[in-house]
Amino acid sequence: MADAAHHLRRRSSAALPRGWCCSFSATPQSPDHHRPLSAASAAGGEGVGGGGARGKLPPKSPSVSLPSFQSSPSSRLAGFIDPRRILSPGRVSPIDPDGSLAVAAGANSEEDAPPRPSVPFVAVREEREEEEGRGLDLKLCLRGRDGRSVAMELDSAVLCESSAFFGAMAPPPTPEATVGGGSKRIEVDGVENVEAFKETVELMFEPDPMRWFVRAGVSRAIGVLEVSSSIMFDRGIKSCLEYIEAVPWNENEEEKLKNLFARCTFDEAVSKDVLARLKPQCQSSSDDVTVHLIQSVTSSTNTGARKEMQSLVNGLLSKSSVYQKDLSGLNKGSLYQICCSCLNSLVEHFMEDLCPDKTVRDSKPMIERVSKQTENLNWLFDILVNNDMAEEFVELWAKQEDLISMHRQASAMFRYELSRISANVFIILGKGKVQCPSDLRSQLFYGWFRPMLMDFGWLQRCSKGLDMRMLEENLGQALLTLPLQQQQSLFEEWFQCFASRGTECPNLSRAFQVWWRRSFVRSSLESRR
């Protein structure tokens, strides 16, 4: 009867699912730290017993000759355990027949061995513990470089089946250990990230890995992926990559993934989807994409959306932007093609206004259509100035003879938008940000200086962010870069306009005084000498 009850108890216990338990504790004892052993060992050295007082570690056995770390599968643990200092799974510590604990060969005895520094190591040893009916036959002790330690009681079969690293490390169970209730102990020292290592081991026993990842998040999943790669936990690698590929990342997580893929190699079949998010498959130039974005902005029909997209592109092209590092490769030819397209649209709008019988393709008011194209051209001009490409734009604007001639006949309600473009060009020339030949500057002033005098009052009333004081100052400075004879004709024209219109005309008094002093005062002084 007692035998039947005992047999029934063993069958019900064996039916329990395999599992693990984990405890946070002080630094686990290890052979390297000369942890006291059982009383039986201390007394007679007849093996490592369970329970009782612990004695001193027996002397090392000189009879063990073990393979090197590099030839062992545990070399994948690099990064978590220093490969130059760790004892590989091939250099574990089996139990001697006489009960003494064998360690890596190197010294003949405890007394003859040179003093060893405290280094990271992996060791396996066997203990006798009465855990009848339980499948937790292995104790895994993790010790981090920061001193933190974790002890986990595990089912060795699940651990070894999941990880090739632990499968090569743990020795197969012996009949004696099975009958006596013996359990193995694996110690891993010098772990870089104890928490990630612990979570990776937990994942081996998790029936639904995706649910665990949803609770953990991307950052912890990346840590588990790194550990899984190191201990050759293939199922964990696949689960990590599937989860990471399916969820959004922030910039820090993306950088972690890039660094991890630079250091580790994963099977292309399981990592290709993640790599497709990290690296573009077809290498298209960012400059080409930028030109397409700019073209989309200039063709937008929604005023609010167009301004929002302009701000977005300006941020991407900013020299202080984290997204754009080299602006020298921006496609200049494509940008000027967009400029010419906007200028052609502007010419068409003015021709439609001057020819009422012409078919109108756009039902929007003329002032709105003209304003859109002038905003586009001013925005493009700013981009060209920031990238040192604006000299051709000055030439392009100076040669718009059709627009200059139509300006005189067009309505003042929208023709002043043309002078808004001229204003930005004059400001840039006055600041010296664009250097153009003298004949080009002369052509620009002879074409657009008079329209500026006519439209200045309208620009004041509808500035749209244009700084009128800055315009007056830089218009005068740009005018002073012309030959003195040309300056005289332009200043005389300005003087007549200012005398009749007053504040409706730009105030160029300071520049006028400079020109007068250079032309007459200095000349008279030099002639007297």
Taking only the tens place, the pLDDT of each residue in 5-27 is 444 344 444 333 445 555 444 44
Amino acid code (one letter) for 317? L
80-89, 420-429, 467-476: segment of lowest average pLDDT: 80-89
Taking only the tens place, the pLDDT of each residue in 254-310 is 999 999 999 998 988 889 999 999 987 666 667 778 889 999 999 998 889 999 999
Distance (Å, whole) CA 55 – CA 53: 7
Q: Which of 52-56, 351-355, 462-466, 520-524 has the highest mean pLDDT?
A: 462-466
pLDDT band at 169 (very low <50, low <70, confident <90, very high): confident
Taking only the tens place, the pLDDT of each residue in 172-219 is 665 554 444 456 888 888 899 999 999 999 999 999 999 999 999 999
Round the CA-based radius of gyration of the chain to a whole number and report it: 41
Q: What is the pLDDT of residue 81?
A: 45
Spell out a b/e string for 195-206, using b for 16 or more CB atoms within 10 Å of the CB, else e: bbbbbbbebbee
- The mean per-residue pLDDT over the stretch 353-377 comes to 84
Our measurement of the distance from residue 410's CA atom to the centroid of its chain's CA atoms, rounded to an integer in Å, reads 52
Written as one string, the DSSP assignment of 378-405 is HHHHHHHHHTT--HHHHHHHHT-HHHHH
Whether residue 241 contacts residue 270, with contact meaning beta carbons closer than 8 Å, is answered with yes
**pLDDT: which is higher, 411 or 358:** 411
Grouping H, G, I as helix, E, B as strand and the rest as coil, residue 189 is strand
Bridge partners of 185?
Answer: 125, 139
pLDDT band at 97 (very low <50, low <70, confident <90, very high): very low
Q: Which of 49-53, 161-165, 448-452 has the highest mean pLDDT?
A: 448-452
pLDDT band at 156 (very low <50, low <70, confident <90, very high): confident
* Residue 22 CB neighbours (<10 A): 15
Share above pLDDT 90 across residues of the chain, in percent, rounded to a whole number? 50
Residue 155 pLDDT > 80, yes or no?
A: yes
Distances in Å between the Cα of 251 and the Cα atoms of 258, 275, 368 are 11, 15, 41
pLDDT band at 147 (very low <50, low <70, confident <90, very high): confident
Distance (Å, whole) CA 193 – CA 199: 10
List the one residue out of 256, 257, 252, 255 whose CA is nearest residue 241: 257
Extended beta strands in 149-252, E state = 149-154, 182-191
Q: What is the pLDDT of residue 492?
A: 95
Distance (Å, whole) CA 462 – CA 475: 19
Q: For residue 443, report the phi and psi dihedrals to the nearest 5 degrees.
A: -65, -40
